[in-house]
Amino acid sequence: MTKRAIYFTNGSGADAAIGKGLEEAGCEVLCTPSLSEAIQLLKNNHAAQATPLSTSGSSSHVSSANNDALILVATVKAGAIPLLTLLREQGVELPPTLVFDEEGRDVHTIIKALQLGVREYVLASDPEMQRRLSARLLAERVSAASEAGKAEHAASTLTAEAGQAPSTDLFEWDPIGRVIHIGEGYVRLSSVEGRIFDLLLENRGHTVPVADLVRGVLMRPNLDVTIGARRLRPHIMRLRRKLEHHPALGMRIVNMRGAGYMLI
């Protein structure tokens, strides 16, 4: 499967960590500073006329063949929110999208991006490893979601032929055994990961403050929130990766900068 990433930027170039993550996932990275061009590329679902972007500083050849899979990376400075808004207004289907915020920490911008269908939102201040991982996992989910979609379509076809209504239950959560059942598969969580998932799932779509996570997960009400947040972070990262490896779940954990975490 050919994977291409359209990188909508103001012309200052790609973030090195994000570009590296995309290349690790086998993506052909292309950039455009033009809002109209980005929309046209997405409408056509190919990136034949965009400018190749090489994070190593050298250009690469771009073929004009249609791509099999496409993702979008858009920077806030270049106009990510207007781009997403126009795509929605024009009825253009949004591919898996990552928004990169070079400066701001405005939670309203993050929420707006998520409402418009963004899969990942990263800040320039996030660690390089985190930015690279976010981009790589997003690109890898393209092919995984494609295969899952084919399997789901085949199952729906068989169910329809049998005259039965398709099931909408994608998973079942066992809080005692700390296992997420996904069809015939499962995801096993540690005790701390299980408590985090249980609390986030109970409040899905709403931000859970860090203080509530410290109290409910670490079960130490007198622990300093800053210390507790630092202890929670690696557990949340591991839980996030486990969920990312199962795109059929349709769930991910978002860091609401300065507020807490949200399961969407």
Instruction: Indicate if 100 and 228 belong to the same structural domain.
Output: no
Q: Is residue 79 part of a domain?
A: yes
Do both 173 and 124 map to the same domain? no
pTM of this structure: 0.53
Confidence at 143, pLDDT banded by 50, 70, 90: low
Same domain, 52 and 177: no
Q: Is 158 within a domain?
A: no
186 shares its domain with 84: no
Cα–Cα distances in Å, from 240 out to 36, 197, 198?
34, 10, 13
> 93 with 198, same domain?
no
Taking residues 138-151, what's their average pLDDT?
A: 58
In a domain, 246, yes or no: yes
Burial 158-168 (b: 16+ CB within 10 A, else e): eeeeeeeeeee
Question: Is the pLDDT score of 229 beyond 60?
Answer: yes
Residue 164, pLDDT above cutoff 60: no
pLDDT of residue 1 exceeding 90, the answer is no
Same domain, 135 and 49: yes
Three-state secondary structure string covering the chain: CCEEEEEECCCCCCCHHHHHHHHHCCEEEEEECCHHHHHHHHHHCCCCCCEECCCCCCCCCCCCCCCCEEEEEEECCCCHHHHHHHHHHCCCCCCCEEEEECCCCCHHHHHHHHHCCCCEEEECCCCHHHHHHHHHHHHHHHHHHHHHHHHHHHHHHHHHHCCCCCCCCCCEEECCCCEEEECCEEEECCHHHHHHHHHHHHCCCCCEEHHHHHHHHHCCCCCCHHHHHHHHHHHHHHHHHHHHCCHHHCCCEEEECCCEEEEC
Residues 185 and 117 in one domain: no
Residue 230 CA to residue 217 CA, distance in Å, equals 13
Residues 121 and 7 in one domain: yes
Round the CA-based radius of gyration of the chain to a whole number and report it.
20
Of the candidates 250, 208, 213, the residue with the CA atom closest to the CA atom of residue 233: 213
Q: How far apart are CA 54 and CA 70, in angstroms?
A: 17
- The pair of structure tokens assigned to 253 is 């954990």
Residue 144 is predicted with a pLDDT of 54
Domain boundary (83, 107, 142) is at 142
Choice among 137-151, 181-195, 229-243 with the minimum mean pLDDT: 137-151
Indicate if 49 and 125 belong to the same structural domain: yes
Say how many C-beta atoms besides its own lie within 10 A of residue 206's C-beta.
12
Does some domain include residue 163? no
- Tell me if 153 is assigned to some domain: no
pLDDT for 12 equals: 64
Same domain, 23 and 97: yes
* Residue 64 forms part of a structural domain: yes
Predicted confidence band at 197 (pLDDT cuts at 50, 70, 90)?
very high
16 and 72 together in one domain = yes
CATH number at residue 124: 3.40.50.2300
The residues near 168 (Cβ < 8 Å, ≥ 6 apart) are: none
Average pLDDT over residues 196-220: 87
The pLDDT assigned to 150 comes to 45
* More confident call, 152 vs 178: 178
Which of 142, 177, 197 marks a domain boundary? Answer: 142
189 and 127 co-located in one domain: no
Q: For residue 77, which of 21, 26, 9 has the smallest C-alpha distance?
A: 9
The whole-angstrom separation of Cα 121 and Cα 75 is 10
The answer to whether residue 120 sits within a structural domain is yes
Q: What domain range includes position 105?
A: 3-142
Total domains, the chain: 2
**Positive or negative torsion for Cα 34, 69, 22, 186:** positive
Domain with residue 198: its CATH number is 1.10.10.10
Instruction: Among 33-47, 77-91, 120-134, 237-251, name the one with the lowest average pLDDT.
Output: 33-47
Of 95, 101, 140, nearest to 256 (Cα)? 101
**Per the domain annotation, does 150 fall within a domain?**
no
Query: Of 90, 107, 142, at which residue does a domain stop?
Result: 142
Region of residue 224 (phi > 0: left; psi between -120 and 50: alpha; otherwise: beta):
beta
